[in-house]
């Protein structure tokens, strides 16, 4: 009988993150990281630290709409004030990921320009300062088709392949598993959301005990998870 | 500084599950459950225990296709041997959830007739035998639009509302959060998949430490998570 135990840790953060905040320093102040830890960070604090903030009056739908268009490659659907957009990254999400909650009054956050690069930069800082082998995932909250409710997904990754490729693996009868490419990046993002409070005070979650030694990879969300426009059956 | 710690536990199961297997007894043999534990169970063992198995030769695509149609309300898309189906439950998934892996040779498993009911039945057995307050989620592995890779999602639930409704909650600036109905059932399903091995030998995962006291509910996947055909923007 082999027992497996995975832990998710978070602490409430008291201070505000602003442009230039050293996220690695905040993380290392609150967590004693060890080899194999996966550091999961919400988009909101990455955007703030990178200065991806726009000034926008609270009741100006025209300006909001212009900003959504500027941050989008395509608008796929509209329903009232909600636009389902394809961002320049290729993410399909509401209103190009522009978000007013947990932002300073009169401002909104925009998605990082390149979340995979943001993750690689943060990973390099954390590994340099700890000398541990880690991984970083940047998450945001997206809706999805066919099922109600939002879930957290990965928008950037470093130090871990986002897809666990089990094609060719045998099941316990010795039969090859069918199409089994698991998006562990999104499963880790979803898991991390379970320990957060929605007041925005849990921007960092540590996943400890995930057996990822086999997949110390160079994959990225943009290349491995985002489906191209023409490969998707539902546009 | 408030620290939160969530744990996921699993053990490898050595024996096979067959029609009539007492899943509650297997779970209670391997886990000492405590109040608040969420017991996450894969569809595969629920289907086997309920006898939802069909005999199907390995190389008979015509018979397979007939079975997919029988288990579906609609076929939404086709690509080669893959059919994207709407099952009678309203789930959108590949091949009506019919699965050959980790099944006996010459057989496939079908989805439970009513996974919410299966979850309620298992919950009642577990709570009766332990006198603990628990929750049960039945999971399966589905693909999704726009993003590569599969993830585990909830197909049945009992003892926990699948949607955490944060509408009206204030962020840390006192601003009301926008549309924030979180599908925690799917996040819990995804989290549980992280500790499983794909040989099918981890059908049970315990999530311990999830703060769900506020949402001891009567919700179900079929009523609260499955979107109706006409309310979905992407069919």
Model confidence pLDDT, tens digit, residues B125-174: 999 999 999 999 999 999 999 999 999 999 999 999 999 988 777 766 66
Rounded Cα–Cα distance for residues B103 and B92 (Å): 22
- Candidates B1, B6, B57, B180, partner chain A, best to mutate (most A CBs within 10 A): B6
Give the residue-averaged pLDDT of A12-36. Answer: 95
Give the per-residue pLDDT at B223: 93
Sheet with B82-87: list strands edge to edge.
B72-79, B82-87, B92-94
Cβ <8 Å between A151 and B186: yes
- Do A68 and A96 form a contact (C-beta atoms < 8 A)? yes
Cα(B79)–Cα(B132) distance, rounded to whole angstroms? Answer: 47
**Rounded Cα distance, A2 and A235, in Å:** 44
B107 touches chain A (CB under 8 A): no
Tokens read off for A176 = 């090859």
Contacts of A175 in chain B (CB under 8 A): 100-102, 105
State the nearest Cα–Cα gap between B223 and chain A, in angstroms: 10
Task: Collapse the DSSP code of A70 into the 3-class scheme (helix H, G, I; strand E, B; otherwise coil) and give the result.
Answer: helix
Per cent of chain B over pLDDT 90 is: 72
For position B191, what pLDDT does the model report?
Answer: 98
Would the CB atoms of A175 and B101 count as touching at under 8 Å? yes
Query: Which residues partner with B7 through β-bridges?
Result: A7, B208
pTM of this structure: 0.95
Q: Smallest Cβ distance to A181: which of B99, B148, B191?
A: B148
Beta carbon pairs, A and B, within 8 Å: 241
- When pLDDT is averaged across residues A127-142 and rounded to a whole number, the result is 97
Cβ–Cβ under 8 Å, residues A42 and A139: yes
Our CA-based measurement puts residue A109 at a distance from the nearest CA of chain B, in whole angstroms, of 14
DSSP chain B: --EEEEEEEEE---SPP-TT--HHHHHHHH----TT-EEEEEHHHHHHHTT-EEE--TT-HHHHHHHHHHTEEEEEEEETTEEEEEETTS-EEEGGG-B-TTS-TTEEE---S-HHHHHHHHHHHHHHHH----EEEEEEEE--SSB-SBEEEEEEEESS-SEEE-TT-B-TTSPBPPS-EEEHHHHHHHHHHTT--TTS---EEEEES---GGG-----HHHHTBPPGGG-S--
- Note the pLDDT tens digit of each residue in B176-220: 666 689 999 999 999 999 998 767 789 999 999 998 655 667 789
Alpha-carbon span A13 to A202, nearest angstrom: 6
Verify whether the Cβ–Cβ distance B8 to A6 is below 8 Å: yes
State phi, psi for B233 to the nearest 5 degrees: -80, -10
Question: Residue B211 has what pLDDT?
Answer: 83
Is B182's CB within 8 Å of A151's CB?
yes
Which of A6, A141, A183 is opposite residue B149, by nearest beta carbon? Answer: A183
Task: Assess contact for A213 and A133: CB atoms under 8 A.
Answer: no
Please, what is the angle between helix B23-30 and helix B115-130, to 10°? 50
Residue of A nearest to B93 (CA): A146
Separation in Å, CA of A185 to nearest CA in chain B: 10
Q: Which of B2, B4, B90, B205 to mutate to test the interface with A (most CBs of A within 10 A)?
A: B4
Contacts of B104 (CB under 8 A, 6+ apart): A173, B53
Of B100, B163, B179, the CB nearest to A178: B100
The CA-based angle A86-A87-A88, given to 5 degrees, is 125
Q: Which two tokens stand for residue A134?
A: 């880690």
Per-window interface: A 39-58 vs B, CB < 8 A: none
pLDDT, position B145: 92
Using the predicted structure, report yes or no on whether residue B58 has a pLDDT greater than 90: no
In percent, the amount of chain B with pLDDT more than 70 equals: 92
Would you call B4 and A11 a contact, using CB atoms and an 8 Å cutoff?
yes
Ordered by where they begin, the domains of chain B are 7-50+112-227 (3.30.1330.100), 53-110 (3.90.1660.10)
DSSP A96: G
- CB-nearest to B200 from A171, A179, A227 is A171
pLDDT score of B175 more than 80: no
Spatial CA neighbour of B101 closest among A234, A74, A66, A172:
A172
List, as ranges, residues 120-149 from B with C-beta within 8 Å of A. Answer: 141, 144-149
Q: Is the pLDDT of residue A198 over 70?
A: no
Hey, is the C-beta of B201 within 8 angstroms of any chain A C-beta? yes
The pLDDT score that the predictor gives to residue A117 is: 98
Does residue B214 belong to the interface with chain A, where contact is any CB pair within 8 Å? no
- Please state which of the ranges A204-208, B47-51, B95-99 shows the lowest mean pLDDT: B95-99
Q: Are B224 and A148 within 8 A, CB to CB?
A: yes
DSSP H or E segment with residue A11:
strand A3-11
Interchain CB contact of B173 with A (< 8 Å): yes
Phi-psi region of B109 (alpha: psi -120 to 50; beta: other; left: phi over 0): beta
Pairing outcome for strands B135-142 and B38-42: parallel
Strands B181-183 and B163-165: antiparallel
- The confidence score (pLDDT) of residue A187 equals 98
Nearest chain B residue to A103 by CA distance is B173
A14 and B1 within 8 Å at the Cβ level: the answer is yes
* Dist CA A101 CA A204 (whole Å): 17
CA-to-CA distance for B214 and B182, rounded, in angstroms?
14
Per-residue confidence (pLDDT) for residue A163, from 0 to 100: 93
How confident is the model at residue A225, as a pLDDT?
95
Q: What residues have CB less than 8 Å from B208, skipping those under 6 apart?
A: B6, B7, B8, B9, B34, B36, B37, B38
Residues B124, B116: Cα–Cα separation, whole Å:
12
If pLDDT is split at 50, 70 and 90, which confidence band does A57 have? confident
Neighbours of A56 (CB within 10 A): 17
Query: What confidence category does residue A218 fall into, taking pLDDT thresholds of 50, 70 and 90?
Result: confident
Residues contacting residue B209 through CB under 8 Å, at least 6 positions apart: B4, B5, B6, B7, B36
């Amino acid at each position: 009988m082999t027992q497996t135990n995975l832990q998710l840790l978070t602490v409430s953060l008291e201070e505000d993150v602003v442009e230039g905040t050293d996220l690695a320093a905040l993380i290392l102040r609150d967590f004693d990281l060890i080899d194999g830890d996966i550091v999961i960070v919400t988009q909101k604090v990455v955007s703030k630290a990178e200065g991806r903030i726009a000034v926008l009056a609270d009741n100006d739908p025209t300006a909001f709409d212009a900003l959504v268009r500027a941050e989008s490659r395509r608008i796929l659907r509209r329903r009232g004030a909600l636009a389902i957009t394809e961002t320049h990254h290729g993410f399909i999400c509401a209103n190009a990921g522009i978000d007013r909650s947990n932002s300073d009054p009169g401002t909104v956050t925009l998605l990082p320009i390149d979340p995979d690069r943001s993750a690689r930069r943060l990973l390099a800082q954390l590994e340099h300062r700890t000398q541990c082998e880690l991984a970083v995932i940047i998450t945001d909250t997206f809706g999805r088709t066919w099922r109600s409710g939002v879930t957290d997904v990965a928008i950037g990754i470093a130090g871990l392949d986002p897809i666990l490729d089990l094609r060719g693996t045998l099941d316990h009868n010795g039969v090859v598993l069918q199409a089994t490419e698991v998006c562990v990046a999104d499963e880790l993002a979803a898991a991390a959301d379970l320990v957060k409070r929605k007041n925005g005070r849990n921007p960092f979650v540590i996943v400890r005990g995930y057996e990822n030694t086999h997949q110390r990879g160079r994959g990225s969300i943009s290349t491995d998870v985002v489906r191209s426009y023409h490969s998707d059956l539902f546009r």
